[in-house]
């Protein structure tokens, strides 16, 4: 099939590369000329395991092209994907201006029937706005061209997006057009072989499914962090509690790990957006408001522990940070707990020495050069001369500790572990003062 994808951000680029790898002819359209030229050279703007080689190989095979020419993109694909960003506006609602701008562009240039598929995360009712926008432009052009609107939300996890795209656990298709549904079934056939993964529903339900999924996962995280805070205050061990409740198959072990809060491009934005949608129809979404409030509070927990340990006297102290990205296997620092912690430490007069396997460039882009932040080339280097180690992201190679080496480099053997990577008893045996989440 000939496919056009508007937007070469995280979702659009991964989806385009996987479609091309299955044999489809894909053109990606973006307004960012520098990004487009870099992609042609094989320079990938994000870190995602397996993505770089996938893009390079399929671009070399001429199955994957990049352009800023919207007219050429519309002419190429019978299927037009909208995969542009929907950032939160000042009130927390998802801003769909970019989505509607692409819809207008498609309508301006289309000369034959198109299936317009919305891949962006958008509020319920956006498909109706897209349809109205295309109809308006076609009417102004005084042309009558058939088109279908489909909602096809993505469910990619940063760090495993390529695999998720190749083997999705579900393919949500929202449409009232049987022909469009059948074409999408053919489009996704290579990802739908082992068992039926495609779920066809009405458009509004598809739009809500995306938000409901992310909000449910965020709820599990905030619930577990709430339990962790209770466990800590009551003298219980949240890790024992986690095993106890996770063994119930109705609950399961996924997304019940306590920590220092969730971040990234999806959960914070989507929870806020669904809350604003609820408010727009006069509904008080009490659970979602609580999920957001608990997460905001949880991001303060590490700083509170650090401040308490040092008697609220942090000025002139140096802290070693392991992990900047909001989760492992990505360089994404959007709404990352590390940002909340570093900014609190700086405000208290402390200095940060940080290391992350992938997010160093992103950190420098966000904060620039400053005297109270030093980005170092290894996890060992950041320890030298630091007053404590703070673990913020659970990268795999942070999970094995050279106890004596760490003690020798730190000014004092103090560790604040925001991801519960180690056992308190073992840390005590090795002579560390060790703080974790939800364990007395």
For residue 217, what are its two tokens?
């996962």
Tell me the pLDDT band of 92, cut-offs 50, 70 and 90: confident
Q: What average pLDDT is seen over the chain?
A: 96
- pLDDT of 192 reads 85
pLDDT tens per residue, range 33-53: 999 999 999 999 999 999 999
Of 88, 105, 161, 100, the C-alpha closest to 127 is 100
Burial of 313 (0-12, 13-18, 19+ CB in 10 A): exposed
The answer to whether the CB of 321 falls within 8 A of the CB of 338 is: yes
Beta carbons within 8 Å of 230's beta carbon, 6+ residues apart: 236
Beta bridge partner(s), residue 113: none
**pLDDT single digits (tens) 191-226:** 988 778 999 999 999 999 999 999 999 999 999 999
What confidence tens digit (pLDDT) does each residue in 65-82 have? 999 999 999 999 999 999
Is 28 tagged catalytic?
no
- Reading the block at residue 58, the tokens are 């399929």
Mind spelling out the 3-state secondary structure of 43-95? CCCCCCCCHHHHHHHHHHCCCEEEECCHHHHHHHCCEEEECCCCCECCCCCEC
The catalytic position among 28, 215, 260, 266 is: 266
pLDDT at position 195 is: 75
pLDDT score of 396 more than 90: yes
pLDDT value, residue 31: 96
351's enclosing H/E stretch is strand 351-355
What is 364-417 written as a DSSP string?
A: HHHH-S-TTEEE-SSTTGGGTT-SEEEE-S--GGGSS--HHHHHHHSSS-EEEE
336 has pLDDT over 80: yes
Q: What percent of the chain has pLDDT over 70?
A: 100
Q: Are 391 and 416 spatial neighbours (Cβ–Cβ below 8 Å)?
A: yes
Euclidean distance between the first and final Cα of the chain, in Å? Answer: 58
Whole-model pTM? Answer: 0.92
């Amino acid at each position: 099939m000939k496919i056009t994808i508007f937007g070469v951000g995280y979702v659009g680029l991964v989806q385009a590369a996987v479609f091309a790898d299955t044999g489809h002819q894909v053109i990606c359209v973006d307004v960012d000329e520098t990004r487009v030229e870099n992609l042609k050279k094989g320079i990938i703007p994000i870190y995602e395991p397996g993505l770089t080689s996938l893009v390079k190989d399929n671009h070399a095979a001429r199955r994957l092209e990049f352009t800023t020419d919207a007219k050429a993109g519309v002419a190429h694909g019978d299927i037009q994907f909208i995969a542009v960003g929907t950032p939160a506006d000042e009130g927390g609602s998802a801003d769909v201006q970019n989505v509607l701008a692409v819809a207008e562009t498609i309508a301006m240039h289309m000369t034959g029937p198109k299936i317009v598929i919305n891949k962006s995360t958008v509020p319920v009712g956006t498909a109706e706005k897209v349809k109205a926008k295309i109809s308006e432009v076609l009417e102004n052009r005084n042309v009558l061209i058939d088109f279908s609107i489909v909602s096809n939300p993505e469910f990619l996890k940063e760090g495993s997006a390529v695999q998720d795209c190749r083997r999705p656990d579900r393919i949500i298709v929202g449409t009232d057009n049987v022909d469009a549904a059948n074409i999408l079934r053919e489009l996704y056939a290579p990802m739908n072989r082992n068992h039926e993964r495609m779920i066809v529903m009405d458009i509004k339900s598809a739009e809500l499914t995306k938000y409901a999924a992310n909000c449910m996962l965020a709820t599990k995280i905030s619930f577990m962090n709430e339990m962790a805070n209770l466990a800590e205050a009551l003298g219980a061990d949240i890790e024992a509690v986690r095993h106890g409740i996770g063994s119930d198959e109705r609950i399961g072990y996924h997304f019940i790990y306590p920590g220092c809060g969730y971040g990234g491009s999806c959960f914070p934005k989507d929870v806020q957006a669904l809350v604003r949608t609820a408010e727009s129809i006069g509904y008080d979404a009490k659970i979602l408001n609580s999920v957001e409030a608990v997460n905001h509070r949880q991001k303060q927990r590490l700083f509170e522990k650090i401040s308490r340990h040092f008697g609220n006297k942090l000025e002139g102290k140096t802290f070693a940070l392991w992990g900047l990205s909001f989760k492992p296997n990505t360089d994404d620092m959007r709404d990352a707990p590390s940002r909340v912690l570093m900014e609190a430490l700086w405000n208290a007069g402390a200095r940060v020495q940080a290391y992350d396997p992938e997010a160093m460039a992103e950190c420098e882009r966000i904060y620039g050069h400053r005297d109270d932040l030093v980005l170092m080339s290894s996890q060992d280097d950041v320890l030298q001369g630091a007053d404590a180690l703070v673990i913020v992201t659970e990268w795999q190679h942070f999970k094995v500790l050279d106890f004596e080496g760490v003690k020798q480099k730190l000014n004092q053997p103090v560790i604040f572990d925001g991801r519960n990577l180690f056992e308190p008893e073992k840390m005590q045996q090795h002579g560390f003062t060790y703080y974790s989440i939800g364990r007395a």
